Amino acid sequence: MQAMGSLRQFWRKLALPPPHWDNLPLALSTAASTAINGSITAQTAFKVQPYDAIPNTGNAWMNLIHFWRGNHFQQMHQVMLRNFQRFGPIYREKLGTHDSVNIIMPQDAAQLFQSEGILPSRMSIEPWKAHRRLRSHKCGVFLLNGEDWRSDRLILNKEVLNPIGVRKFFPFLQEVAADFATLLHRRIKKNTRGTLTVDLYADLFRFTLESSNYILYGQRLGLLEENPNAEVVQFIRAVETMLKTTLPLLYMPHGLLQWTKSKLWQEHIDAWDVIFSHADKSIQNIYQDFCLGQERKYSGIMAELLLQAELSLDSIKANVTELMAGGVDTTAMPLLFTLFELARNPHVQTALREEILAAESQSQVQHDEIKILNHVPLLKGAIKETLRLYPVGITVTRYPQKDVILHNYHVPAGTLVQVALYPMGRSPEIFKTPDRYDPERWLKKDDNNFKALAFGFGSRQCIGRRIAEVEIMLFLIHILKNFKIDTVSKADINTVFGFILMPEKPPLLTFRPIH
């Protein structure tokens, strides 16, 4: 009953109308329920409820029409928040072809991930797969499942996620981050006021694209030097369009995709074609150098994969293209949100700057720059804090491989389950004062298990996680050492969901050099 009371408080604090408490399951304890060897053992005093008893959002097709008409796809994160408020901490969402169980509590996420097995499987992105089929491209790890996924993933992990791989591309990310600070200094010098007030949205895309391109192909694009050439602008637009068009296409029947000649579908295919042709050009350049037997030094992830020859050329292409498409917007958005939060929370900004300066004075760091990453816990907390409030993907999905009990409901193996990260991050039931940007919360002894899930979980978690974390940390280190950041407005940013979470209107930020 105590849990019920605090959940009630949660909704009250959200200033939303009271939920239908009748819909709450009888028992709120999931920790006491476990799925063992495929058979369910409920250790609660309450009777486990059947799957069909999970509260649901009603007719799938009516819901889809409602979504299309109201353009609710862009507000999916807010819709989910309201649905948890209406139905309680677990509900079934039916939308077109899509039928999922949505959960919010970290304990339920823990139950789910414990039942994912050794070949975890995520919600399929059918429009992306349809493009690969149409163009006879192979799929990379994002789209693969089963043993095919596992064998590619184990090979890629070594160069992309594991510490030895990270150490190799660290200097490349360091170089691009330093160049970004130089770019801002250059712009400030041109300005008589000695400061720069700017919407950094486009520049952050250039930064993340420059970084990704460098670590994948070992080549600089020069995006931080001069105005980007038309081809690069086209690539960035294509990634944006690909992400934006994914969401509405996701809920259409699979068969419809291929033969509908809808504008949306055509835009989607064209965007992927541009992404693939960009990757293809870069791959061909590097492949030529490689075949010419250029002097052997580390020149990026792609070259390492070619050298190791553990994956076929087609698989390398498919995976490297996915890494390229997956690494630009996903990292640019948290950078923008972090800068904004630091600008409107000057005390956090100062604390981070002091931590960085102290870390740099450590003798280990002076001999080995990568070690700085071990001496900046608050900075790591800041990244977690940004992703709590603004998770790039608003859910993490799984098809459990065996039956599982979630919030005292029986959920059969193979059901699509979504952990709702955005509502979780904003819930006062789960985070104290959730509206506060407080990186220190991650350093306290509180139970933070299954609360930092922005990169997913386990063996299927984001393979670009280390790239993103290191890229963001180095960027912030260079910016904080060089500039004080301020913002024109401290008001909350409205967000929209276009397959990733983005600001509706990018904030204006002011940079003042620290002399």
Segment (H or E) for 481: helix 465-482
Closest distance to ligand HEM from the beta carbon of 163 (Å): 16
C-beta closer to ligand HEM: residue 67 or 337: 337
Encoded tokens for 153:
């993933």
Encoded tokens for 271:
């965007």
88, 19 contact by CB (below 8 A)? yes
Binding to ligand HEM (CB under 6 A) within 294-333 occurs at: 322-323, 326-327, 330-331
Burial 114-136 (b: 16+ CB within 10 A, else e): ebbeeebbbbeebbbbbbbeeee
At how many degrees (to 10) do helices 263-291 and 126-134 cross?
60
Q: Mark the segment that binds ligand HEM (CB under 6 A) among 3-11, 21-29, 440-448, 461-469.
A: 461-469
C-beta closer to ligand HEM: residue 25 or 300: 300
509, 197 contact by CB (below 8 A)? yes
> CB neighbours (10 Å) of residue 288?
10
Q: Mark the segment that binds ligand HEM (CB under 6 A) among 88-96, 180-188, 450-458, 503-511.
A: 450-458
Closest distance to ligand HEM from the beta carbon of 219 (Å): 16
Return d(Cα 479, Cα 182) in angstroms, integer.
Answer: 10
Return the closest-CA partner of residue 89 out of 34, 30, 147.
30
C-beta closer to ligand HEM: residue 7 or 239: 239
Closest distance to ligand HEM from the beta carbon of 362 (Å): 26
- The mark string for 242-271 relative to ligand HEM (x by CB under 6 A, - otherwise) is ------------------------------
Residue with tokens 């039931």: 429
Binding to ligand HEM (CB under 6 A) within 465-504 occurs at: 467-468
C-beta closer to ligand HEM: residue 181 or 318: 318
Residues 6 or more apart from 148 whose CB is under 8 A from it? none
Binding to ligand HEM (CB under 6 A) within 128-157 occurs at: 141-142, 153
Closest distance to ligand HEM from the beta carbon of 437 (Å): 17
Binding to ligand HEM (CB under 6 A) within 174-213 occurs at: 212
Closest distance to ligand HEM from the beta carbon of 385 (Å): 13
C-beta closer to ligand HEM: residue 314 or 368: 314
Q: Mark the segment that binds ligand HEM (CB under 6 A) among 278-286, 464-472, 480-488, 506-514.
A: 464-472
For the chain, helix (H) and strand (E) counts, in that order, are: 19, 13
DSSP single-letter state for residue 138: P
Residue 85 vs residues 60, 235, 279, 418, 426: alpha-carbon distances, Å: 20, 40, 44, 16, 12
Binding to ligand HEM (CB under 6 A) within 340-399 occurs at: 387, 392-393, 396
> CB neighbours (10 Å) of residue 5?
9
Q: Mark the segment that binds ligand HEM (CB under 6 A) among 264-272, 361-369, 441-449, 457-465.
A: 457-465
DSSP single-letter state for residue 56: B
Closest distance to ligand HEM from the beta carbon of 320 (Å): 9
Closest distance to ligand HEM from the beta carbon of 421 (Å): 8
Residues 6 or more apart from 256 whose CB is under 8 A from it? none
Q: Mark the segment that binds ligand HEM (CB under 6 A) among 14-22, 283-291, 359-367, 453-461.
A: 453-461
C-beta closer to ligand HEM: residue 188 or 318: 318
C-beta closer to ligand HEM: residue 27 or 215: 215
Contact residue for ligand HEM among 87, 455, 475, 499 (CB under 6 A)? 455
Closest distance to ligand HEM from the beta carbon of 4 (Å): 31
Q: Mark the segment that binds ligand HEM (CB under 6 A) among 25-33, 264-272, 371-379, 448-456.
A: 448-456
Return the closest-CA partner of residue 472 out of 99, 180, 37.
180
Contact residue for ligand HEM among 44, 75, 448, 461 (CB under 6 A)? 461
286, 301 contact by CB (below 8 A)? no
Residue with tokens 């919030």: 407
For 121, the 3-state DSSP assignment is: coil
Give the N- to C-terminal CA distance of the chain in Å, as an integer: 57
Contact residue for ligand HEM among 464, 470, 476, 479 (CB under 6 A)? 464
* 291 is known to lie in a ligand binding site: no
Length of the chain in terms of residues written: 515
Name the binding residues.
Answer: 462
Which segments are annotated as binding site for heme?
462
Contacting residues toward ligand HEM, per CB under 6 A: 122, 141-142, 153, 212, 322-323, 326-327, 330-331, 334, 387, 392-393, 396, 454-457, 460-464, 467-468
